[in-house]
Chains A and B, each alone.
Chain A
Amino acid sequence: MERNVFVSRRRIDGFDVSPSDSAEAHVLAVDDSLVDRKFIEKLLKISSFKVTAVDSGRRALQFLGLDEETSSSVGFDGLKVDLIITDYCMPGMTGYELLKKIKESSNFREIPVVIMSSENVIARIDRCLEEGAEDFFVKPVKLSDVKRLKDYMMREVRFGSTNSGGTNKRKLQESCDLTSSEPSISSLSSSSSDSPSRSPISPSSAPSSIPTPLDSPVRRLKMTNAGGLI
């Protein structure tokens, strides 16, 4: 599987991401909001990641060297990107479109991509996961979310598996369950997904023992897609 190739390629390059050493990991953060960029940058730095923050999908592609105008495949300052975390709603290129471009690229499709959004829309989450996003964080992003990013890199290096089972979708399940019980289907309207307060779960705790309901949207998605059909 592709991820195993990714693992061995990393080892061949001598780039060893050991569990305790995430100081080497470089995250490319994409968000058009300056407030959010400052915030995510801080969260990432506190979690010992190197960060490059850009304000658009276009700039992210330029940084990676994927922009149509350039043909080079090296990030423009030579730093490898180990993970991309991007906002969904951005003018010009959305996070989803950026995700697609990355997954379509032979050079960069191995890079794990995480989507962030202030809107907890099930159809949106599903679409992103189907396109290959590792996870979907509801904004405002928590430190515990960012700390989990290491798992995506770790998992690939140590286990080489694409499917992370249910664990790193835990946050998704929590955030899906917290909003209205009626999932908004295809529209991006916020009326059914917005709620004034975030959740009864304390933001500083990372509950690992909350049972994931069988009818959670992500689990349903996995079950229906068991045959690999989308």
Chain B
Amino acid sequence: MDVMIQLQRQLREHSAFLRKEGYLDDQFEQLQKLQDESSPDFVVEVVSIFFDDSEKLLNNLAKALEQKAVDFKQVDAHVHQFKGSSASIGAMRVKNVCIEFRNYCEAQNIEECLTCMQKLQFEYSVLKNQLEYLFRLEQQIRAAGV
């Protein structure tokens, strides 16, 4: 019983922290609201797809930025995709880096693009860790409730 209460408190606090620090916005809550008995793992499923997508995009971005003659339109296309998927799951910080990144693509500023790339990798890694922790807590709560 104590374990359950503690876990639930941790979950609440972690969720509030993610919102407060801007890792996640309202859209994540919208995702959670869509989860129901017919799709009890909906959020985890969508976020897993997001992780897979993101890793591919980051790879593609890294390759595109390594080129001697960087194709900014291509880079922008990848960032645009990333922006879209991060917005769809409520990953606000990641999304905001994408917005900044796109501006530098348009300006064809390679230095700033490279900086954004690093920021993006960083924000994505942090977010991934935060969400995995969140999901672990939820899983533990479910297990403790059985």
Q: Which residues of A contact B (CB under 8 A)?
A: 33-36, 38-39, 42-43, 45-46, 89, 118, 139-140, 142-143, 189-191, 194, 196-198, 203-204
Contacts and interface: CB of A to CB of B under 8 A. Distances in A.
Nearest to A203: B26
Interface in B28-75: 30-31, 33-34, 36, 38-39, 42, 45-46, 49-50, 53
Given A39-B88, A139-B88, A198-B26, A46 B34 contact: yes
A203 B80 CA distance: 23
B85 A196 contact: no
Interface of B: 25-27, 30-31, 33-34, 36, 38-39, 42, 45-46, 49-50, 53, 80-81, 83-85, 87-90, 92, 95-96, 99, 102-103, 106
Contact of B102 (A42, A190, A196, A204): A190
Nearest to B30: A203
B111 to A, nearest CB: 18
B83 A39 contact: no
Nearest to B107: A191
A37 B109 CA distance: 33
A204 B83 CA distance: 22
Contacts of B50: 35
A36 B88 contact: yes
B99 A34 contact: no
B84 A36 contact: yes
* Residue among B25, B26, B95 with most chain A CB within 10 A: B26
B25 A43 contact: no
11 contacts: A33-B84, A35-B50, A42-B34, A42-B39, A118-B83, A118-B84, A118-B87, A140-B88, A190-B102, A191-B106, A196-B99
A206 to B, nearest CB: 13
Nearest to B35: A42
A189 B30 contact: no
A39 B39 CA distance: 12
Contacts of A36: 84-85, 88
Contacts of A194: 99, 102
Contact of B85 (A33, A198, A203): A33
A191 B87 contact: no
A161 B34 CA distance: 33
A36 B89 CA distance: 9
